[in-house]
Amino acid sequence: RCEQSQFSMWWSRKLATRCLRLNRGKSTTPGTGTNSASKEPEQTLGIIGVPFAKGQGKQGVELAPDLLRQSSLRQVLQSSHDGLVIRDYGNLQYAVDEPLLQQQRVHYHHIRNYADFMACNRALIEQVKLMLAENSQFLTIGGDHAIGFGSVAGHLQHTPNLSLVWIDAHADINLHSTSQSGNIHGMPVSFLLEQLRTTWQHAGLQEIAPNW
């Protein structure tokens, strides 16, 4: 437990530094180059935990949101950026409806936990839009890679003119036909790309996926 706590504290500091590094140096007024630190608007950060682990087969990633909170994540984030206001929205809640379960049984049995994936990311999209409406930035804490779809799709619905840098050891761009495992955590980018969405149609996807 001691080693786990030390690792969690180290990781929370590392996460905080990476999340807020880009905010440093934003003390100039666009087009003037003059210092305006005293005129900067309040910086607010919305946090949502998404303890979702059904995109793959291992246990443990669903514990991360609460473990990071217990390891002083809020304090580390605030110490990394003076005046940062943090709003913690708790952990995401979602419910899987019967139509999605029926679609999974009939059409998507080859994709593990498709109904849970869609239900979770639908809820996450709405939560991301809410956080962006109420804050200058947001932080989603997973959970496995499957929640990347909802995080990005929600941001795109709020800010359509958005560029994305996806940093991972894998592309996470598998189709159901190319995935050997059926684990949906290897597919979120393919759900985001319009070219691939037109190739494979999925229930519940068209009304929430971005035109990107």
CATH code for the domain of 145: 3.40.800.10
What's the pLDDT at 193? Answer: 80
State pTM to two decimals.
Answer: 0.75
Residue 183, in any domain of the structure? yes
- For the chain, percent of residues with pLDDT exceeding 90: 44
**64 backbone dihedrals φ, ψ, rounded to 5°:** -60, -45
pLDDT at site 53: 96
Q: What are phi and psi of 101, to 5 degrees?
A: -65, -40
What share of the chain in percent tops pLDDT 70? 72
Q: Which residues of 72-92 are buried (b: 16+ CB within 10 A; e: fewer)?
A: bbbebbbebbeebebeeeebb
Asked whether the beta carbons of 84 and 78 are under 8 A apart, the reply is yes
Structure confidence at residue 30 as a pLDDT band (50, 70, 90): very low
Residue 2 counted as domain residue: no
Cα dihedral sign, 154-155-160-165? negative
Contact 122, 206 (CB under 8 A): no
Q: Report which of residues 70 and 108 the model is more confident about.
A: 70
Q: Are 191 and 104 in contact (CB under 8 A)?
A: no
Report yes or no on 129 lying in a domain: yes
User: Is residue 56 pLDDT above 90, yes or no?
Assistant: yes
Contact predicate 35/128, CB 8 Å: no
Residue 204 lies in a domain: no
Q: According to the model, what pLDDT value does residue 95 have?
A: 94
Burial class (CB in 10 A: 0-12, 13-18, 19+), 138: buried
**Domain-located, residue 208:** no
pLDDT tens digits for range 190-203:
888 865 555 555 65
**Of 41 and 158, more confident:** 158
Range of lowest pLDDT (28-32, 99-103, 171-175): 28-32
Q: What is the pLDDT of residue 120?
A: 96
Which domain covers residue 153, as residue numbers?
Answer: 43-197
Residue 139 predicted with pLDDT over 90: yes
Domain count, the chain: 1
d(CA 52, CA 176): 20
Per-residue confidence band for 33, with pLDDT thresholds at 50, 70 and 90: very low
pLDDT at residue 200 in the model: 54
CA dist., res. 38 & res. 136, Å (int): 17
Under 8 Å CB-to-CB from 117, ≥6 apart: which residues? 54, 55, 111, 146, 149, 184
CB 156, CB 212: distance < 8 Å: yes
Across the chain, mean pLDDT equals 80
pLDDT of the residue at 198? 59
The answer to whether residue 10 sits within a structural domain is no
* Residue 9 forms part of a structural domain: no
Let me know if residue 22 belongs to a domain.
no
